[in-house]
Structure 1
Amino acid sequence: MRFAVISDVHGNVHALDAVLADIARHSVDATLCLGDHLSGPLDPAGAADRLMQIGGPVIRGNHDRWLVEGERLDRVDRFASERLTAAHRRWLEQMPATAVFAGEVFLCHGTPQSDTEPWLDGWFEGRQTALPDEASVAAMAEGYDYPLMLCGHTHVARSVRLRDRRVIVNPGAVGLQLVHGSPDARYAIIERREGHWITELRVVEYDHHAAAALAVANGFPAWSEPLATGWMGPQGLF
């Protein structure tokens, strides 16, 4: 079994197209999507059109849930909401919060319990984030007896192996790099070999300057620097 995992596109079709093209070169059996697909000042409708064609499980993130609920929308979410069609909204409404793929792979956006809580990273302070302590990471996996568990939300790519050999992977973000020091898109290819899960955290170059220019043209200049450099934290973006 060999599949791709993407997360946190945030409406960035420039990055998404580059990642999907890279995935197509690697003969995967499925592509799994972990949420926060559309909320960004770029091209939410274009991102929805592309992601609706993906056959693998697609779950919602916190921003996707907020778009459906129509409450507590910040300026970025409102930008996305105003550009979605009825078909896009139906797609979001039918999206589950979690999913299981092939009976062995558990998908969530933040943690199994929450789409807003980070799992493999403490939440950002300025430009820094760090792996939480072992007990905290393991506690969130308690009761979820899957050999492989996937999460997104923090935009930071990590692969963690618990002492009982369960693996937790965050593929990083396709559409918005935070504190990575690089604007390149992130995703993961995961393969089971001889009973073991092998994770490749991939980095894909794309036209990030075009994405930054689009954010500025759409009235969101604060997004220009993180899209163009990948050095910034999330403060002031949402």
Structure 2
Amino acid sequence: MRLAIISDVHGNVLALDAVLADIAHMGVDATLCLGDHVSGPLDPAGAADRLMALDGPVIRGNHDRWLIDPQDKGLDPVDRFALMRMKQAHRAWLAALPATAVFNGEVFLCHGTPKSDVMAWVDGWFEDRQTILPALETVTRLAEGVDYPILLCGHTHVARSVRLLDGRRIINPGAVGLQLVHGSPDARYAIIERRNGAWFTDLRVVPYDHMAAGEQALANGFAPWKAALQTGWVDATGLF
């Protein structure tokens, strides 16, 4: 079984199309998506259209939840832009997405952690442009009761694959649509494959027209996103 794992598209259709083309080239049994689909100053409706057509489970992220229930947080300018650009069908799709899912009885999907879509799991949040691997005890505690061999998360935009001492793997595929302090603007996703009873992970990096994405964000009135999309060197400050 070979699966593609994508997360954090943030409305970046140029990056998403490049990743979907790479997935088609790789050949997979299903594509799983971990949330934060449309909240970005690019093409939220186009991203929703493509993700609604996926053949694997799709869950919601924190930005997706805020779009549907803005009373929980209030809409920041990027979320407001996404909401205005989407059709009612897109909003209904977002509203129906679950917070977590299980695929094929083996693969658990969440956005942040199993119980929170805003908490980072296998990375400390960005502090002084750094990301930090939390202590094993912290990561393991957040996995309690989630007894599947593969645990998937997104949210931090940082690609990482770790093993717990009991053999379970936690995999973050990185972000399709917005690279933060990576030093590269290329889109990221993951391929996981079970062969002869063992799971293999391929954290993939896919080039796309990131210069055009930055110009699109600028044309839509979100100048800080230009450098983030075109370089991959900046952090999240001022983007949301």
**Shorter-chain TM-score category?**
over 0.9
Q: Is the 8 A contact 1:171 1:187 kept in 2?
A: yes
- Report the Cα offset of residue 117 of structure 1: 0.2
Structure 2 residue 48 is matched with structure 1 residue 48: yes
- Report the Cα offset of residue 57 of structure 1: 0.2
Runs of 4+ that moved beyond 6 A = none
Structure 2 residue 195 is matched with structure 1 residue 196: no
Q: Is the 8 A contact 1:178 1:234 kept in 2?
A: yes
Partner SS for 1:64: helix
Q: Deviations over 1:152-174 (max 9, x none)?
A: 00000000011100000000000
The one-letter amino acid of 1:49's match is: D
Q: Deviations over 1:111-162 (max 9, x none)?
A: 0010000001001113111111111111100111000000000000000011
Matching residue of 1:39: 39
The one-letter amino acid of 1:51's match is: L
Partner SS for 2:137: helix
Q: Deviations over 1:20-66 (max 9, x none)?
A: 00000011000000000000000000100111110100000000000
TM-score, length-scaled by structure 2: 0.98
CA–CA distance in 2 between the matches of 1:165 and 1:6?
23
- Report the Cα offset of residue 70 of structure 1: 2.7
CA–CA distance in 1 between the matches of 2:139 and 2:200?
20
Query: What does residue range 110-129 of structure 1 map to in structure 2 within 5 Å?
Result: 110-129=112-131
- Report the Cα offset of residue 193 of structure 1: 1.2
Q: How many residues align?
A: 238
Query: What does residue range 133-172 of structure 1 map to in structure 2 within 5 Å?
Result: 133-172=135-174
Matching residue of 1:96: 98
The one-letter amino acid of 2:21's match is: A
Q: Is the 8 A contact 1:127 1:231 kept in 2?
A: no
Alignment RMSD: 0.6
Matching residue of 2:67: 67
Q: Percent identity?
A: 72
CA–CA distance in 2 between the matches of 1:228 and 1:64?
24
Q: Is the 8 A contact 1:11 1:45 kept in 2?
A: yes
Unaligned runs of 5+ in 2: none
Matching residue of 1:13: 13
Q: Is the 8 A contact 1:186 1:202 kept in 2?
A: yes
Matching residue of 2:134: 132
The one-letter amino acid of 1:183's match is: P
The one-letter amino acid of 2:12's match is: N
